Amino acid sequence: MNLTVARHWNARYPCFAQVRRSLAVGLEHPVIDAINARKRPSLPDARERTCHAVSSELLANKGLTDEAYAAAEKAMGLESLVALVAMTGSFSMTCLTASTFGIDPPAENPTPLAE
């Protein structure tokens, strides 16, 4: 979810930090590359797919369709869905701030965003 949000806002430093963290916990490069290219990543875990889909739809449409909401609630449960929506909003604030003020990653380890 954090990579999806950082990419949406073109937030270079948050994206750099999330890529580094994602790699450290074992997320594969093709998933990161897909998100960076604004494509749907191939995620084997249903919960991860749901998180990406929900965050993407929230950011693109400012809400969820009834169908997306029902599918997410079924996959995650209401409590986890509420937490995901809140985290998407909270991290959006961080990314929007970093993007607006041009907070860049360290020069020795930049994470380029796809154009």
Q: pLDDT tens, position by position, for the chain (115 residues)?
A: 999 999 999 999 999 999 999 999 999 999 999 999 999 999 989 999 999 999 999 999 999 999 999 999 999 999 999 999 999 999 999 999 999 999 999 887 766 787 7
Q: How far is CA 13 from the centre of its chain?
A: 14
User: Per-residue pLDDT tens for 26-49?
Assistant: 999 999 999 999 999 999 899 999
| Cα–Cα distances in angstroms (integers) from residue 39 to residues 19, 32, 80, in the given order | 16, 10, 24
CA distance 54 to 63: 9
- Tokens 């890529």 belong to 19
pTM of the complete model: 0.91
**What are the domain boundaries of the chain?**
2-100
